[in-house]
Amino acid sequence: MKILRKTGLLLLLTAGSGAPLVQAASYYLYQLPDGSRVMSDRPIYKKGHQLIRKSGQVKGMGHLVAGAYQPRGSARRAQFKHFEPLIRELSKQHRVDLALIKAVIRTESDFNPNATSRKGASGLMQLMPQTAARYGVSDLYSPQQNLDAGIRYLRDLLNRYDNRLHLVLAAYNAGESAVKKYKGVPPYRETQRYVKKVMQYKTFYNRQ
């Protein structure tokens, strides 16, 4: 069998007949440990390359590489309404307060499923590749997988810190090792602002 590549398609020539069978090529998006991303038309088997999206077409992959778009105003509200049923379902399943989940998502990604940070955090709950791997996530930009893993992580942190939200949120933002090192909320301005912001949003969602 001969394999010819042409304009993003694989042409398979069956032996003897010469008749081509057209098969769509796949595109693979990988994230590296430093948060940078690379897209390839074939699998990459290298240490540190985390597969976060596979697609049969290149269209729609560019925004995942850049991760620049952030919804605002009506766009954010529309996305929130779209994901709310799933968020409610997972909230009940994992026994995590709905207002807390909404507050974390609002602070992390503003309800943008394609959000990407400079540090490599991705999706609605801005999961780092290590956290995603810990919870078996194969596609960081799948709302179902991202939300499920992020909410499970919150559940584990709530158990670990005996529901002390300031420690839970500090660990979610700065890491469990940082909370352990400082025996509380780390003295990082970003983390302290993060904890305060999430708590403010939680109060807002509790009133709705």
Residues annotated catalytic, as ranges = 108
Report the side by side order of strands in the sheet with 2-6. 2-6, 9-13, 20-24
Task: Tell me which H or E stretch contains 174.
Answer: helix 165-174
Residues 6+ apart with CB under 8 A from 188: 174, 178
What is the token pair recorded at 187?
A: 């003295």
Dihedral angle computed from the Cα positions of residues 41, 46, 49 and 51, in that order, rounded to the nearest 10 degrees? 50
Could you tell me if 44 and 30 are in contact, meaning their C-beta atoms sit under 8 angstroms apart? Answer: yes
Residue in the structure block whose two tokens are 């001969």:
2
Q: 2-6 and 9-13 as β-strands: parallel, antiparallel, unpaired?
A: antiparallel
Size of the chain, expressed as the number of residues it contains? 208
Give me 141's structure tokens. 């930009």
CB-CB neighbours of 200 under 10 Å: 12
